[in-house]
Amino acid sequence: MDQAILKVDNLTKVFSRKGKPDFTAVDHISFTMHPGECVGLIGESGSGKTTVVNMITRLLDPTEGSIILGGEDITRFSGRELRKVYARMQMVFQTPTDSFDPRCTLGDGIGESLRNNGWSRKETKDEVTRLLEMCGLSADFASRYPHQVSGGQCQRAAIARALAIKPRLLICDEATSSLDVTIQKEIIALLNKLRWEKGSDLSILFICHDIALVQQFCNRVLVLYKGKIVEQGEPDEVIRNPQDPYTRHLIDSIL
Amino acid sequence: MSEPTIRIQKIKKDTVKTRLIIFGILALILLFCSVFCEHLTPYDPYLQDLKNAKAPPSPEHLFGTDRYGRDMLSRVIVGSKTSIFSTLLLVGIVTVLGTMVGVFCGWHGKWIDTVLMRISDMFLAFPGLVFAMAVAGVLGGGLQNAIIALVAISWPKYARIARSQTLAQKETPYLKAARLSGSGTWKIIFKHILPNIVGPIFVTSMLDIGTMMMELAGLSFLGLGAKPPTAEWGSMMSDARSLLSSVPWVTLAPGFAIFVSVMIFNLLGDTIRDYADPKSRGR
Ligand SMILES: Nc1ncnc2c1ncn2[C@@H]1O[C@H](COP(=O)(O)OP(=O)(O)OP(=O)(O)O)[C@@H](O)[C@H]1O
Ligand SMILES: [Mg+2]
């Protein structure tokens, strides 16, 4: 039962740029996530957090390394195989408003994964309503377009979309950074509620650059600096007794 | 300081809208004429009346008659069917074909993209109409071959636009989200990419209607398009050009028709471009 939900091994991404030397955005990182665990990934802007999760979700091809999801090596998957994987892994994007097609309604976006998995139009509609309500939005948001809702509402819709297919692994790429503090609190409360309800059926990879938030929300934290994991451990431990100079700097600058 | 700016924007928006309505109506009138041309002609356009040949414009024959005594106004009206329909058909084919190639290249990438784009570069490197003449010459005359020739030279432009738009779309978070929702290639292309790129492509094809009409008439004029006695503006002009000094109206009437139609479609295209541009709409 205690099989790792996600195992990342030596993951590396090198961007080759025209006229400039190659740039290593992610440098041989390895970590493991267990069922029900909530892992925080922190690091300053540009440290490679989004690149890491884009590789895990296979939106970006890794240069090196492997990604093992629930015991299955998905590093080389493509097409139909990959689409099946997305029923177990979902992501909330860094920019909520841009992550919905401006020409489709929020309801279309939220129900898309269900429709792709053979749900009927009627079933999908009911489920979208349920998801919206679970995320604190009323049912009429389903027929709105992304530019007709606020950033916070869009973020909730994005979470509803990610949860629609009931993934085992949820990746939140700075799901709260673009929001003000009160909305941020509500989103965290929502994620916390989900964690309690689902127990070991839901693991969350939580990307953030707010170390205080990670402390209250995550079981474990990974500190990313210039594409490398410089420190990992329990949040309290890391904050109280940082081993790496960068982590110390990060903590000092916040507290 | 800000109030005058707002006012200017508003006025500008209104004029764009008025222009859109005016040119839209004019274009619709043209289309209407070409659809119902048989019922709008005052005389039978193919009926010869040698007694009345080469008659100058008069109240009975507004555009005069040609050397067989056929009423020029009727011939110009009937010619609109061939000229306008083949132009719209041409633009339609080029738009769809070019967009398909472009979206495919942009989405698929890799070697197939490189090959197709090199081919389109090759086409773009030739001077368009000269190349079309060569193609039409090889295929032989006829309206159909003229259309094929013009499709051959015009698709790369659309393929380029569609490709670059597709590449830009591919990087957007919502497309990544669609992939993450497990949507397949076809669904992504038809539901997410195409609706987001049709705007600029449509504007380009509207702007091209005038040019295409000229080029098609040009090929016909050179004898590489519609053949007489089919009433088509380009071939009608070419037909009568030897008599330009003695009976100028036979050449000028279809020329005038081309001029007016090209003008209307160009202005309509310009207006649609202005209207589609959010900056000029002053949102
Ligand atoms: N497609 C790309 N080509 C070249 N360099 C890239 C590309 N994508 C990202 N990078 C670079 O990789 C580094 C990491 O980017 P990434 O988006 O992963 O940062 P991040 O940690 O998510 O930052 P933020 O907190 O601002 O979102 C940056 O220096 C960025 O400039
Ligand atoms: Mg990021």
Helix (H, G, I), strand (E, B) or coil at A161: helix
pLDDT of B110 reads 83
Q: Do B183 and A112 touch (CB under 8 A)?
A: yes
pLDDT-derived band at B1 (thresholds 50, 70, 90) equals very low
Q: What is the CATH number of domain A6-88+167-252?
A: 3.40.50.300
Nearest residue to B97 via CA among B142, B60, B139, B147: B147
Please tell me the distance from the alpha carbon of residue B263 to that of residue B22, in angstroms, as a whole number. Answer: 13
For residues A205-225, give the mean pLDDT: 85
Domain membership of residue B69 as a residue range: 2-44+65-282
Q: Of all helices (H) and strands (E), which one includes residue A173?
A: strand A169-173
Q: Are A100 and B174 in contact (CB under 8 A)?
A: yes
Q: Do B180 and A98 touch (CB under 8 A)?
A: no
| Alpha carbon nearest to ligand 1 atom 9, residue | A51
CB nearest to A99's CB, from B177, B191, B196: B177
Cα of A90 to ligand 1 centre, how many Å?
A: 20
Find which of B108, B165, B175, B181 to mutate to test the A interface (most A CBs within 10 Å of its CB): B181
Cα of A50 to ligand 2 centre, how many Å?
A: 4
**Could you give the ipTM of this predicted complex?**
0.85
* Atom nearest to A227 CA in ligand 1: 14
Cα of A19 to ligand 1 centre, how many Å?
A: 18
pLDDT in tens, A114-126: 888 888 888 899 9
Please tell me the distance from the alpha carbon of residue B154 to that of residue B195, in angstroms, as a whole number. Answer: 22
How much of chain A exceeds pLDDT 70, in percent? 98
pLDDT of B283 reads 39
Asked if A104 has any chain B CB less than 8 Å from its own CB, the reply is: yes
Q: Do A99 and B173 touch (CB under 8 A)?
A: yes
B60 bridge partner residues: none
Q: Which single residue is written with the structure tokens 């080759």?
A: A16
Type of residue found at B98 = G
Nearest CA of chain B to the CA of A100: how many Å? 5
For residues B9-20, give the mean pLDDT: 74
For residue B11, is pLDDT > 70?
no
Which ligand gives the minimal distance to the CA of A42?
1
Q: Is residue B51 a part of any domain in this protein?
A: no
pLDDT in tens, B84-103: 888 899 999 999 999 999 99
For residues B69-76, give the mean pLDDT: 82
CB nearest to B196's CB, from A91, A103, A109: A103
How much of chain A exceeds pLDDT 90, in percent? 11
pLDDT of B4 reads 59
CB under 5 Å of ion ligand 2: residues: A 50, 94
Q: Is residue B21 a part of any domain in this protein?
A: yes
A169 bridge partner residues: A89, A203
Please tell me the distance from the alpha carbon of residue B5 to that of residue B265, in angstroms, as a whole number. Answer: 31
- Write the DSSP assignment of chain B as a string of letters: -HHHHHHHHHHHHHHHHHHHHHHHHHHHHHHHHHHSHHHH-SS-TT---GGGTTPPP-SSSTT-B-TT--BHHHHHHHHHHHHHHHHHHHHHHHHHHHHHHHHHHHHH-HHHHHHHHHHHHHHHHS-HHHHHHHHHHHH-SSHHHHHHHHHHHHHHHHHHHHHHHHHHHHTSHHHHHHHHTT--HHHIIIIIIHHHHHHHHHHHHHHHHHHHHHHHHHHHHTTSS--TTS--HHHHHHHHGGGTTT-HHHHHHHHHHHHHHHHHHHHHHHHHHHHH-HHHHT-
pLDDT-derived band at B13 (thresholds 50, 70, 90) equals low
Q: Is residue B185 a part of any domain in this protein?
A: yes
Number of domains composing chain B: 1
For residue B278, is pLDDT > 70?
no
Q: Do A95 and B173 touch (CB under 8 A)?
A: yes
Of the two residues B160 and B279, the one the predictor is more confident about is B160
The residue ranges of every structural domain in chain A are 6-88+167-252, 99-166
Asked if A102 has any chain B CB less than 8 Å from its own CB, the reply is: yes
For the domain that residue B143 is a member of, what is the CATH number? 1.10.3720.10
Residue A182 DSSP symbol: H
Asked if A99 has any chain B CB less than 8 Å from its own CB, the reply is: yes
Q: Is the CB of A245 under 6 A from ligand 1?
A: no
pLDDT in tens, B231-251: 788 888 887 778 878 888 888
Q: Is residue B57 a part of any domain in this protein?
A: no
For residue B279, is pLDDT > 80?
no
How much of chain B exceeds pLDDT 90, in percent? 12
Strand order in the sheet with A6-15: A23-33, A6-15, A64-69, A72-73
A 10 A CB-CB count for B211 gives 18
Encoding tokens for residue A206?
Answer: 């939580």
Nearest CA of chain B to the CA of A111: how many Å? 9
Q: Is residue B104 a part of any domain in this protein?
A: yes
Chain A residues within 8 A of B184 when measuring between CB atoms:
83, 116
pLDDT in tens, A179-213: 777 878 888 888 888 888 887 888 999 998 777 78
Taking CA–CA distances from A112, the nearest residue in chain B reads B181
Cα of A255 to ligand 2 centre, how many Å?
A: 23
Average pLDDT, chain B: 83
pLDDT of A1 reads 47
Look up the pTM and report it: 0.79
